[in-house]
Amino acid sequence: MEHATTEHAATERASSDSATAERTTAEQAQLMREQILQMGTGPDGTHVGGSLSSADLLTVLYQEVLRLRPEEPDWPDRDRFILSKGHASAALYAALSARGFLPAEELAEYGTSGSRLAGHPLRRLPGVEFPTGSLGHGLSLGVGTALALRRTGRSGRAYVLMGDGELQEGSVWEAAMSAAHLRLGGLTAIVDRNRLQITGDTEERMGLEPLAGKWRSFGWQVLTVDGHDLDALRAAFAALPGPTGQPVVIIADTVKGKGVPLFENKKKSHSVKLSPNLHRRALAGLRARSRRQS
């Protein structure tokens, strides 16, 4: 394999703080969920459901896969991560904090006036490659990024995390067609397949299935995994090809609001401002679930 992602990522994590280094990936995912709920108490709340559904994906990526240097955010050979579903910014900020790009204390400033932690990620924050939030554009950014990395001889990969409702945007499929034509094996798309969007069930709004078949018909290699199984996610990322093979899409079957019984599989979890009482209930449910599973 030309790019052993997890092995290389391990060598680029030396600058992470010791407290983070001592946590297991599972513990870090649990902490991320708690931080997402806390950010949901901010002035305008946050997109809780989609942040929770992507927490395991982002934890594995940032803790075990992505080759990054927090002390040198613009390192030329870094991997590039693009959060196309920019509304899940709370999860991204927690991941960046765990990796050492910003202090954990700064998460308390989420959504406040003048904060670097806006409701959708901005380039002014170290570790953010592109400002995102208008859905359907992230994969095109990933295509251009992967092509530039290949043409300049850089070893980094491009990863794009998309929501499943976002796949209703035609621009996604234009980018998918381009990536296959260009044989961008250095591009990995990840679909957070939680089956809910702001207006309800994805299959009722505009059916996506057979989703794997659609991607294959566009010339992509498809990996379907349980998006909450850390070992399955590790295996999927470890199986990625070199930069001149087929682009890969990882369809991660997830649960919107994962880990918090109040929000699991509920459309209302898409965007929530947590009152003190709701935050206490959500956090208690999250911790009780974690204790039962440990």
Beta bridge partners of 226: 253
Residue for token digits 């030396």? 14
The predicted model scores a pTM of 0.92
Residues 6+ apart with CB under 8 A from 94: 31, 32, 35, 36, 39, 55, 58, 107
Beta strands in 92-186 (DSSP E): 158-163
Q: State residue 293's pLDDT score.
A: 85
Cis (ω within 30 of 0) for the bond into 76? no
pLDDT at 13: 46
pLDDT value of position 110: 98
Could you tell me what percent of the chain has a pLDDT over 90?
Answer: 87
Residues 164-212 have pLDDT tens digits of 999 999 999 999 999 999 999 999 999 999 999 988 899 999 999 999 9
Distance CA 195, CA 208 (A): 9
Look up residue 1 and give its amino acid: M
Task: Determine the residue type at 226.
Answer: D
Which pLDDT tens digit goes with each residue over 242-294?
Answer: 887 899 999 999 999 999 999 999 989 999 999 999 999 999 999 999 998 87
The total of structural domains in the chain comes to: 1
Report CA-CA distances (Å) from 80 to 49, 201, 260.
24, 31, 30
pLDDT band at 12 (very low <50, low <70, confident <90, very high): low
What is the DSSP-derived secondary structure letter of residue 268? G
Range(s) of the domain holding residue 131: 5-293
Domain with residue 100: its CATH number is 3.40.50.970
- What are 77-126's pLDDT values in tens digits? 999 999 999 999 999 999 999 999 999 999 999 999 999 999 999 999 99
